[in-house]
Structure 1
Amino acid sequence: MLPFLLLASRAENAAAEDEYAAYLRYGGLEERELRRVRLEATPLPALDLADYSGVIVGGSPFTSSDPPEQKTPVQHRVERELAALLDQLVARDFPFLGACYGVGTLGSHQGAVIDRTYGEPLGAVEVELTAEGLQDPILQGVPQTFTALTGHKEAVRSLPPHAVLLARAATCPVHMFRVRTNLYATQFHPELDADGLVTRIDIYRDAGYFPPESAEELMAAARQFTITEPMAVLKNFVARYAR
């Protein structure tokens, strides 16, 4: 099997390793089947897409909608590299799954309005599939309403007409969308379980996602969650596009 490519940008080693392990576990992948590039640490190397089954973009502390003057040189570089890569992926309708930060990257690339109108704190949210989502192969086996874990400062306020809305929530109107046939983005985390959320709350307690003094309460609440349905998105993506 040709490997999938995970493009990560979490500078904190604990968060980066936990995320990578989660994609392996819930994607049903071996390490040789999921190559990783940590974009916060190294520029994106030249890629031949023929060497990969698909591209996955993980979550990130970067926020696409930040004013340019507030972004670091590293964030500007990562955004340029991802935009150039998406030029190729969209033109070829190449398999792509962007989780959380993928909404900002794919959404911005395709002309969506990305801002902070519908940010959601770290925690659980009830997600509902649209009629199109119920028919999409990447959502096969996912119930019409399910609980997922999320945490984001920005989100899609409006999609461009050519994008297909697949899932929404009362607190965030765009939780998953598709561009063309094979490019997907989710606002929720298809790789994140309760233990992973606890890890991220601890690591990002001072990152502006929630008041730092609420971290312990949020971690205690996270330990009560049982999250299983969103992982089907990742499993289905791998099964559909592995070659």
Structure 2
Amino acid sequence: MRAYVLQHAPFEEPGNILHWLQQQQAETHYCRLYAGDPLPLVDAIDLLIVLGGPMSVNDEADYPWLKAEKVFLAQVIAAEKPVVGICLGAQLIAACQGARIYANHSKEIGWFDITAVSATGDLLALPSKIKVFHWHGETFDLPPGAVLLARSEACTNQIFQLGQRVIGLQCHPETIEENARSMVLHCADELVDGSFIQTADEILSATDAQYQQLSQLMAQILDYVVRK
């Protein structure tokens, strides 16, 4: 398996995804867009992971590579390659399919439940409720043809499926403790009073069991998109 990881900031790492890739004995390549790395060839991809980042999908003036990335993602999706987008990555998937990305009514930062949405068909099956890690201020409209799989109290569109190989995750199931600490370190200015914003201490008090649940969820998602 040839896996490519699109990275938008040095402090947003693949977390527990890396463990899954190692278990699959995947040939893993990083594309550090923030450092000017070129995008891979679509035909070279067996799995594409699109990570998060502090910028907005709409910030093309400040980050010109976003425009090329959206075109590239549309090509990868059209080629029916397995794709998992996380936070900014999910928003980029939505944007490249013509959906609108905009400020959510509230930032959602910390550990909050997501709830599965009832849907029919050959779709990713999710736990009815699970506490996951969040760090976002924007949301998006579902792209045409997408099916909503999970929501949270603060944000309706949390997880969606597009076709049989594409999953968009507004939340961060890739999170391991190092990820959470890195986010708190680099984005501490966002930890202000808010209905859905936890303190640094609350964020960093997550248990091993919480991280294990996330790892299991992320593995389930990855197993689903690469299934034969």
Structure 2 length-normalised TM: 0.84
Instruction: State the aligned residue count.
Output: 220
Map of 2:50 onto structure 1: 57
- 1:129 deviates by 0.8
- 1:21 deviates by 4.5
State the AA in 2 paired with 1:58: L
1:67-119 alpha-carbon deviations (Å, 9 max, x no partner): x5xx41xx122x12211212212212211000001122011112222111244
SS in 2 for 1:60: coil
- 1:204 deviates by 1.6
Q: Which of 69, 80, 86 is equivalent to 1:93?
A: 80
1:122-173 alpha-carbon deviations (Å, 9 max, x no partner): 2011100111289633x4xx421000001112112x3244111011011100
Structure 1 length-normalised TM: 0.79
Distance 2:99 2:71 in 1: 17
Distance 1:113 1:102 in 2: 14
Map of 2:192 onto structure 1: 211
- Alignment map for 1:179-194 (pairs within 5 Å): 179-194=162-177
Q: Which of 84, 90, 110 is equivalent to 1:123?
A: 110
Answer whether contact 2:3 2:26 (CA < 8 A) is retained: no
Q: Which of 79, 89, 95 is equivalent to 1:108?
A: 95
Aligned residues: percent identity?
20
Map of 1:172 onto structure 2: 155
- 1:190 deviates by 1.4
Answer whether contact 1:165 1:176 (CA < 8 A) is retained: yes
SS in 2 for 1:230: helix
Question: Is 1:47 the equivalent of 2:41?
Answer: yes
State the AA in 1 paired with 2:49: I
Distance 2:27 2:15 in 1: 12
Task: For structure 2, list consecutive stretches of 5 or more residues without a partner in the other structure.
Answer: none
Task: For structure 1, list consecutive stretches of 5 or more residues without a partner in the other structure.
Answer: none
The answer to which structure has the higher helix fraction is: 1
